[in-house]
A = this chain, B = another copy of it.
Amino acid sequence: MRIRELTPADWPQVWPIVRDIVRAGETFAYDPVMTEQQAHDMWVLRPPAITVVAVTDDRVTGTANAYANRPGPGAHVSTASFMVSAAERGKGVGTALCRFVMEWAKEHDFVGMQFNAVAESNHRAVDLYMRLGFEIIGTVPGAFHHSTLGRVGLHVMYCEF
């Protein structure tokens, strides 16, 4: 598996990953009916932000982006998002993506990384983040309407570098 910056040629393989995850409504508080163009503009970011892909045997198996969590007085803290193809989960793609963007953020002088809205039902993601040094700052009760579980909490998570 290799992680590298996304190029325009990757999008046809990235879009189905984003589409299926957003439509499932289990993990991301994104508009579930967003169009392909909206998804592209939301996910594929320009510098100083970064969008990357995980590639296994020439197939895109996951993607991530990272950027300053807030402008101005909040711009020293980064944030990031991760999506892994359903067929590739449990194989370390998410871990590799998270490690990659954490290194990117450290190299770009961010002092930490914050996740603003991690569905507490997304145990795979929560466990992964905890393993990589994140802590749960707090949980907003019922703030995420999971498509099958109903309302679950949204964790704010943070890792100081």
Contacts and interface: CB of A to CB of B under 8 A. Distances in A.
A114 B137 contact: no
A140 B110 CA distance: 14
A111 B73 CA distance: 30
| Chain A at the B interface: SS class | strand
Contacts of A112: 142-143
A56 to B, nearest CB: 29
Number of copies: 2
A134 to B, nearest CB: 11
A156 interface: yes
Contacts of A116: 116
A71 B29 CA distance: 6
A161 to B, nearest CB: 11
Interface in A27-45: 28-32
